[in-house]
Amino acid sequence: MASESDEGKERLIDDVRPSLRKRIVVERVLDQLHTIENDQKEQIRQKARSVSDLAAADLLISAVLKKPHAPGWFQAFVDALIHSGCEYAADCIQPDNPVDAAVEAENDYCVKLIEILSPSLMDMKTEVVNLECSAKELITQDDVEKIKTITANEGNRGGARELLRSIVRGRPGWFSQFLEILRGTDHKRLYELTGGSSDCDKTVGKLLSLKDEPMESEAAAGSQDSPEFMVISSTNEPPEEQDLYQGVSAKSRQLPDSVEPSTSDPVEAAGGPEKDDIVLRDYQMNVARPALEGKNIIICLPTGSGKTRVAVYITKKHLDHRRKEGCSGKVIILVNKVPLVEQHFNAEFQPFLKHTYKVERVSGDSQLKISFTEIVKNNDVIVCTAQILENYLERANTGEDEGVDLSDLTLIVIDECHHTQKGGVYNHIMMRYLKQKHKNIRLKKEQKKTLPLPQILGLTASPGVGGATKMEKAEDHILRICANLDASKIMTTDLGKFKREPRKSIQTVEDRKEDPFGDVIKNIMNDIHTHAELNPTSDLGSQTYEQWVVQKERIAATEENPKVRVCAEHLKQYSEGLNLCNTIRMRDALNFLTEYQEEEKKKKKSPDAELVIKTTETEQFLFNLFEGKKKELKQLSEKPEFENDSLSKLRGKVLHEFTSRDKARGIIFTKTRRSAIALSQWIQENPKFADVGVKAYHVIGAGDQSVVKPMTSAEQRDVLTKFRDGEVNLLIATTVAEEGLDIAACNFVIRYGLVTNEIAMIQARGRGRAEDSSYTLVDVKNSGVAEKECVNEYRITMMNKAIDKIRTLKQEDYDRRILEYQMQAIMEGRMRMKKKQQQQMQTEKGEVKFSCRSCSKHVCTGEDIQMVDVHRVNVSLEFRKLFIKRENTTLQERHFDSETETNDYIACKDCGQRWGSMMLYRGIDCPSLHVKNFVVTFNGKKKTKCTSWSDLKMRFPDFDYIKYGSHQLGKSSDEDD
């Protein structure tokens, strides 16, 4: 019985381990705990000093759970927690009085709120608040003394930081007491920022969440998730279903017959291909009104609420009005991704407008062979990628070719307009607009003719907060976007009965009890460390370790140390292998490592049998090291008991969705292309998924920045079409599918070890468009998704408050701030341009040399390089004697309106290091260099970082086609003779 009791207590501690370790003050608990040996205590203290308190707390819990147990071990641990001031940690492991899950969730909410607002809270009067917290018994006497010491040594903010760490460890209820202390110590601004009411007669400490009354602002009413709807699950059992429409009649969940649905499904959204009438819901009409009056606005509505439908309505009314006035209208709808061109064209603009207006779509992937200028002239509505419009605006600006002017357009609709910032293409277009707008103001004063500018309509589900941790910074971020779009208002509203939010759950995972596969990889890495005399200071496979390896490779390359450089390259791949086996199957991680080794060996084989490429002693050591462990790794990869827990949780969630729904259709978002492909294969090969009707496929990006072969735009389109039609019912996607993908039947979304910012979170969960949809996060080791997700929730709350505050500004105050930001943006743009021109003037005189990154052989100088579009090609005939050509297995389709085509890649004759690609340009073979494969010496100094051509501020001359072509022609004539 005692053994069973111990096992129950062990399970109890293990179940609450993630929250327990955050609430333990390691040093104090160790002083009170006498069931752990002194040498073990010293190891834990060392862990706290060298790594972190969390890591030390984890080690402490493992020491407590270590068998055999001393008599009374559990009670000793509880007593140690209580006597060290960690009462709430003790409460968490009381078997007879467990902490209520709702109380725990709300407490976590409060802790995260303090974390995200800590930059502002550190402005408190620390000494005063410290004394008040002590008087209220929110902190222990040890805490008080430590805070005093830190305040004396590090200043007020250092002490405040420690004070915040201390209070969040307290029992639930600390938050409202802390608010009362802030109010009572004249911290009114901090009190209100942290959720307190500005009316001091109201209840102190009322936390703004969906558990309380909704905010008065329409902006905030539709976008917040509450801990009440967040299920933290650490078992394989699916989370309990929760109805977010509780209290709403079943009838009100259905769309009224008289109202057009607002989804973007090709059939449902358009009301059929012959539908002309557009009927908006009341909330849609509310946000559209200023645009119907001709004003520039941003429409901010949740995903799935019909923003695109509103844009179609505004487009039609705009064109109707201009036709009635006897003027022509020209509308361009800008999107930031190629698949969205077809979606907006086929699902929305074409069905509703085709009977009255000419509608066309264009993207870099289009097969139309006429000029974009002609397409604009001959059509009323054009859906296109923003880059195409920017290219043709630039052509018109330089006068080198017939282009498009902003004055040719009467309305620009910008989809996902939150990207209108920094160096994005949307911002480039709008900077042209703002410059002309302010030029028009000057021309008008001088009574000169002005150029007409189009109306601007921005669409977004979330402008975000731009990483802000303070409310005023969040306001600034949103106002800058408004300024960049020249928006007179940002429009948002309460969706009322049409509001839909998916059920949300988080699946936490447990560490492997044994990881022999990972241990073998780590042993290989340690052997490489020894061989290269490297001494890492962080955990193998961690982000810090990867950064360290990259830095070592760069330094070794510039110092011409091939031994360390090639070892660092291999270590980087093994580190990636460790991460992969925490995300996907061990066999997938092994395949990745095997492919890398085979590719490296292939570099040492020349297509020319007479040419021998040297393999160095270190390279042979690395090849032999992997070969010696490959068999053991293969055997371990076939043992399912050693697989990661994340895959188990993902399997359970997917099977639950497909067995609990009549027609399940979902998306799994994952971090990398490699994991998307591997997860797709895993699902396709597992008969359990086939038994419940899962038909899975992946969709990944079309860019060529990754080492994984990209998808072409045509392949992406094909997969998305199959997903819409139901031929594929489970899509495994990278973030390429996060924004704008509208599939009305999609009813569950899973983010697998992937959390970025609050905008991406809103976009991802918005892919679940159907009734009763769910949104799940599955944790992956070292990803920290649960913590990041909570931070994003608070950012969304902050964003909604900021929008609400902006909407309450007086129009003259709003206009003044917008004007300031616009003037600042224009001036900063001019300064950047001036700086760029100065850099070009300086670098044009520079001397640059390139040597092979692997063997350090001199390859060429800057005088040998010329420009073909954005490509740097080597025009030296001597250069051709230095490389060999190999087949390029990742060939892409030739792009529309492009004169270049990539064929083979080129590699060093001596060591096999890849240098770039052999590019066919107007019938001529041109060796195109990839600068990341070289060590660059600029003005006699080697550059440690030069991963892209933008890192080298050097201007090269344009390609001399006639001169280079004549050399090629002469050479081919000699061969013919």
Looking at 107-116, 149-158, 788-797, 831-840, which range is the least confident one? 831-840
Q: What secondary structure does DSSP assign to 140-203, as a single string? A: -HHHHHHHHHHHHHH-HHHHHHHHHHHHTTSPTTHHHHHHHHHHHTT-HHHHHHTT--SSTTSP
Q: Examine domains 516-624 and 848-970 and report if their fold is the same.
A: no
Partners of 361 in the β-ladder: 383
Strand pairing category for 924-929 and 941-942: unpaired
For residue 370, what pLDDT band results from cuts at 50, 70 and 90?
A: confident
pLDDT at 495: 66
* Coil, helix or strand at residue 710: coil
Reply yes or no on whether the pLDDT at 260 is more than 70.
no
Q: How far is CA 956 from CA 55, 841, 861, 867, 876, in A?
A: 52, 12, 11, 6, 14
**The pLDDT of residue 778:** 85
Beta pairing partners, 381: 331, 359
Q: Which helix (H) or strand (E) holds 924?
A: strand 924-929
Q: How many residues does the chain have?
A: 977
> Residue 134 above 50 pLDDT?
yes
Compute the distance between CA of residue 942 and CA of residue 952 in angstroms, rounded to an integer. Answer: 11
Residue 485: closest CA among 923, 818, 105: 818
Structure tokens at 840: 């070009």
Other residues' Cβ atoms within 10 Å of the Cβ of residue 886: 18
Q: Can you list the alpha helix ranges (DSSP code H) found in 642-746?
A: 645-660, 673-685, 687-691, 713-725
In angstroms, the CA 659 to CA 653 distance is: 10
Question: Which pLDDT value is given to residue 379?
Answer: 94
% of residues, the chain, pLDDT over 70: 81
- What fold characterizes domain 644-800? Rossmann fold (3.40.50)
- Rounded to an integer, what distance in angstroms lies between the CA atom of residue 804 and that of residue 474? 12
Residue 397 has pLDDT above 80, yes or no: yes
Q: What is the pLDDT of residues 681-697, one digit of tens each?
A: 999 998 999 999 999 99
Cα–Cα distance for residue pair 586/592, rounded to 1 Å: 10
SS3 127: helix
What angle do helix axes 156-167 and 101-121 make, rounded to 10 degrees?
180
Quick check: pTM over 0.85?
no
Q: What is the DSSP letter of 453?
A: -
More confident residue, 604 or 401: 604
Where are the domains positioned within the chain?
A: 4-92, 101-193, 282-498, 516-624, 644-800, 848-970
Above 80 in pLDDT, residue 542? yes
Please choose, from the candidates 671, 788, 679, 798, the residue with its C-alpha nearest in 3D space to the C-alpha of residue 738: 671
CATH topology of domain 848-970: 2.170.150
pLDDT tier for residue 137 given thresholds of 50, 70 and 90: confident
pLDDT confidence of residue 641: 86
Position 893 pLDDT exceeds 60: no
Of residues 318 and 507, which shows the higher confidence score?
A: 318
Please determine, for residue 359, whether its predicted confidence score (pLDDT) is greater than 70: yes
8 A C-beta contact, residue 372 and residue 366: no
Q: Report the percent of the chain where pLDDT is more than 90.
A: 30
What are 907's strand-pairing partners?
884, 914
Lowest average pLDDT, out of 254-258, 854-858, 914-918, goes to 254-258
Residue 270 has pLDDT above 70, yes or no: no
Fold of 282-498: Rossmann fold (3.40.50)
CA-CA distances (angstroms) from residue 464 to 419, 420, 529, 795, 805? 10, 12, 43, 8, 15
Query: What pLDDT shows up at residue 754?
Result: 74
Which residues in 252-326 belong to E strands, given as ranges?
297-300
The CATH code for residues 101-193 is 1.10.533
For position 480, what pLDDT does the model report? 93
Taken in order 934, 936, 937, 943, is the CA torsion positive or negative?
negative
Give me the mean pLDDT over the 284-288 stretch: 91
pLDDT tens digits for 748-772? Answer: 889 888 767 555 555 555 554 445 6
Phi, psi for residue 896 in degrees, rounded to 5 = -60, 135
Which of 42-46, 284-288, 549-553 is predicted with the least confidence, judged by mean pLDDT?
A: 42-46
- Reply yes or no on whether the pLDDT at 965 is more than 80: no
Question: How, if at all, do strands 230-233 and 503-507 pair?
Answer: parallel
- Within 10 Å of residue 558's Cβ, how many Cβ atoms? 21
So what's the pLDDT on residue 739? 59
What does the pLDDT look like over 477-497, one tens digit per residue? 999 999 999 999 999 987 665
Higher pLDDT pick, 151 / 735: 151
Q: Which CATH class is domain 516-624?
A: mainly alpha
- Binning pLDDT at 50, 70 and 90, where does residue 192 land? confident
- Comparing 408-422, 513-527, 603-617, 835-849, which segment has the lowest mean pLDDT? 835-849
Write out pLDDT tens, residues 79-99.
Answer: 888 888 888 888 888 877 777
Please give the CATH architecture assigned to the domain spanning 4-92: Orthogonal Bundle (1.10)
How does the average pLDDT of the chain come out, rounded? 80
Predicted confidence (pLDDT) at residue 226 exceeds the cutoff of 90: no
Residue 319 has pLDDT above 80, yes or no: yes
Least confident of 315-329, 434-448, 763-777, 801-815: 763-777
- For the cut 80, the answer to whether the pLDDT of residue 239 exceeds it is no
499 phi, psi to nearest 5 deg: -65, 130
Judge whether residue 310 has pLDDT over 90.
Answer: yes
